[in-house]
Amino acid sequence: MNTLTIKIPAGLDAALAQASERQQLSKSELVRRAVAAYLGQAGERPGAPSALDLAGDLVGCFGGGPSDLSSNPRHLDDFGKP
């Protein structure tokens, strides 16, 4: 196993120590699990669907409307008004 040294603020170290005691795991194990969970959520898992994969059927489903909707501030003149 490789070694990684990091610097963390005192408050984070205290919280990590409390979680370590509460879960009866070493601080290293908690950090390994947290990094693994973070990388999994960040899309590092092979085969994880992208946003386009999940909503691809909605792309281009709207026809018509102004061609400058995203760039012309005039379209926001009445936005938020009852």
Domain ranges of the chain: 1-56
pLDDT of residue 38: 86
Task: Report pLDDT for 59.
Answer: 80
Mean pLDDT of 36-62: 76
Burial 29-64 (b: 16+ CB within 10 A, else e): ebbeeeeeeeeeeeeeeeeeeeeeeeeeeeeeeeee
- The amino acid occupying position 25 is L
**Token code pair at residue 13:** 């170290």
pLDDT above 60 for 36: yes
Tell me if the domain spanning 1-56 has CATH number 1.25.40.
no
- The pLDDT-based confidence of 6 (bands split at 50, 70, 90) is very high
Q: Is the pLDDT of residue 45 over 60?
A: no
Q: Give CA separation, 62 vs 45, 68, 78, in Å.
A: 32, 14, 22
State how far the Cα of 43 lies from the Cα of 50, in Å rounded to an integer: 8
Of 8-12, 36-40, 46-50, the one with minimum mean pLDDT is 46-50
